[in-house]
Amino acid sequence: MKSIKWPKHSILLIAIIATWIKTAITYHTSFEIDIENGMQEFILILNPLSFLLFAYGISLFFNSPKIRNSYLVFVSLLLSIVLYANVAFYRFYNDFITLPVLFQTDNVGQLGSSISEIVNWYDFLFFIDVVILIIAMIFIPKMEGKVAIRKNVRRAYFVVALAITFLNLGLAETERPQLLTRSFDREILVKNIGTYNYHLYDFYIQSKSSAQRALADGSELVEIDNYVQANQATVNEEMFGKYAGRNVIVVQLESLQNFVINKDMNGEVVTPFLNSLTKDKDTYYFSDFYHQTGLGKTSDAEFVVENSLFGLGRGAVFFTHGGNTYNSMAESLGNNGYFTNVMHSNNDSFWNRDMMYDSLNIDKFYDINSYTVNDENSVNWGLKDIPFFEQSVNLMTEMPQPFYSRLITLTNHYPFNLEEEDQMIPEYTSNSGTLNRYFQTVRYLDESIKVLFEELKEKGLYENSIIVMYGDHYGISENHNKAMSMYLEKDEITAYDSALLQSVPLFIHIPGSGDGKEVTETAGQIDLRPTILHLLGIDTTNDMQLGADLFSDEHEEFVIFRDGRFVTDELVYAGETCYERTTGEETDMAACQPYIDRAQVELDYSDKIINGDLLRFYDEKTGNLIKNAVH
Supply the residues annotated as catalytic.
298
| Rounded Cα gap, residues 166 and 490, in angstroms | 42
| Rounded Cα gap, residues 606 and 311, in angstroms | 8
SS3 523: strand
Query: Using an 8 Å Cβ cutoff, are 83 and 195 in contact?
Result: yes
| Rounded Cα gap, residues 205 and 139, in angstroms | 43
CA gyration radius for the chain?
A: 27
Half-sphere exposure of 231 (CA within 13 A, CB side): 18
**Which element (helix H / strand E) includes 373?**
none
Pairing relationship of beta strands 339-343 and 558-560 according to DSSP bridges: unpaired
Query: Using an 8 Å Cβ cutoff, are 549 and 555 in contact?
Result: yes
Query: Using an 8 Å Cβ cutoff, are 536 and 334 in contact?
Result: no
Q: What is the spatial order of strands in the sheet that 566-568 belongs to?
A: 558-560, 566-568, 571-574, 577-580
Enumerate the H helices of 120-150 as residue ranges. Answer: 128-139
Query: Using an 8 Å Cβ cutoff, are 563 and 312 in contact?
Result: no
User: CA-CA distances (angstroms) from residue 85 to 17, 39, 225, 427?
Assistant: 21, 27, 40, 31
Query: Using an 8 Å Cβ cutoff, are 437 and 418 in contact?
Result: yes
Burial class (CB in 10 A: 0-12, 13-18, 19+), 504: buried
| Rounded Cα gap, residues 570 and 591, in angstroms | 10
Q: What is the CA angle 318-560-353, rounded to 5?
A: 10
Burial class (CB in 10 A: 0-12, 13-18, 19+), 148: exposed
| Rounded Cα gap, residues 509 and 526, in angstroms | 19
| Rounded Cα gap, residues 326 and 341, in angstroms | 16
Query: Using an 8 Å Cβ cutoff, are 275 and 258 in contact?
Result: no
| Rounded Cα gap, residues 57 and 415, in angstroms | 42
Query: Using an 8 Å Cβ cutoff, are 455 and 390 in contact?
Result: yes
Burial class (CB in 10 A: 0-12, 13-18, 19+), 333: buried
